[in-house]
Amino acid sequence: MTHIVEIKLKQWFDGKQNILCLTGAGISTDSGIPDYRGHKGSYHKGHKPMIHDQFINSHAMRQRYWGRSMMGWKEFAQKLPNDGHYALAELERMGKIGVAYKDSEEYYKPGDEDAELKWAFTNGSESRTMSIITQNVDGLHRKGGSDSTHITELHGRNDRLVCMTCGSFQCRHQFHDQLDDLNSAWVDRVRVEQDLQTQMQASSTSSSEENLRPDGDAYVARDSFDEIDVPSCSSCNLGNGGSMHLGQPITERSKQLGNHSFLKPDVVFFGDSVPKYQVNRCYAAVNACDGLLCIGSSLAVHSAYRFVNHAAENGIPIAILNVGETRAEVNKLDVLKIESPAGPTLSALASLYASEEK
């Protein structure tokens, strides 16, 4: 059955050749990942995210983060794409979304090539395509079939770690295997404590999904995490001949390493800034598009809202698919607002176009 919302969205799509999508946490809530600012979001429950400076400057805060991550990350990493992610991948396959823009050295981190996502500087001799700018760090657009080279993960990716000393990348799954091995006794104790807490409560509000946070960590009902042993960067350790690992207890190594050779999720924590080269790349795609579709985002944070505001200032049509008021509406931008859940609406839109292909 066709509903008015997808027809309305299709009418906005029709006649446009270069639509760019900007997605937020609202597209992933149907996958079981909580958002921050939605009407049932993490903020409304009193949850506080990790702050960049706290993580960088405090070994104790890193212990807290990794302790909580041991209780939430694997569940977070197992989340699967939903209808909204699959629909965007299908719309891209149909050529309904995607923007070509001229490549530039300004769109890449100096001296770095991200070979995994095939973002290699082309000396301006080729155009690049962008279909999705996402604020999400969950990787579900990639898992859902969207071309990874056409996605800009504005706030980074939570499945990868970066060393704050040497800059090397490491797989978070492998890191967590090591983290779990080093802290197995602590994890067992916390799980027993959480099971007891759940049994003492009449409701199910302390279920694992309820405790999960948008960052991939989880609520743990304890104040001290000083028992947590956090692995250091394997690349730095190899470069040092592994000397920190010889004949020393793990806890002693952690104390000696302190603020050196520690790993951080390759994401933009609160209080940090999106790299300038990524911002430049996104502005280039916005300038080249003939329509900007915002999906599942309140647009509350400047890192995403600036692209919407830029589109409005340059007369680029904007449509917003979201449940709840957004910053664009509060600021009286000229937008088409479609008050509807992302997944079902995008899926229905893709079905409408698929029926036309037959």
Catalytic residues: 155
**Rounded Cα gap, residues 35 and 49, in angstroms:** 11
Q: Minimal CA–CA distance to 91: which of 33, 7, 147?
A: 147
Q: Decide if 220 contacts 65 (C-beta within 8 A).
A: no
Q: Which two tokens stand for residue 112?
A: 């770095």
- Contact status, residue 132 vs residue 146, Cβ threshold 8 Å: yes
Q: Which residues, in sequence order, are bridge partners of residue 217? A: none
Question: Do residues 52 and 210 make contact, with C-beta atoms less than 8 angstroms apart?
Answer: no
User: Residue 289 and residue 209: Cα distance in Å, rounded?
Assistant: 38
Taking CA atoms, 358 is separated from 15, 252, 355, in Å, by 20, 66, 5
Q: Which of 320, 274, 239, 341 is nearest to 29 (CA)?
A: 341
At CA 73, angle to CA 192 and CA 232, rounded to 5? 100
169-171 vs 263-267, strand pairing mode: unpaired
Write the DSSP symbol of residue 246.
S
Residue 337 pairs in a beta bridge with 320
Of 264, 274, 276, 202, nearest to 231 (Cα)? Answer: 264
The residue written with tokens 């400076």 in the block is: 53
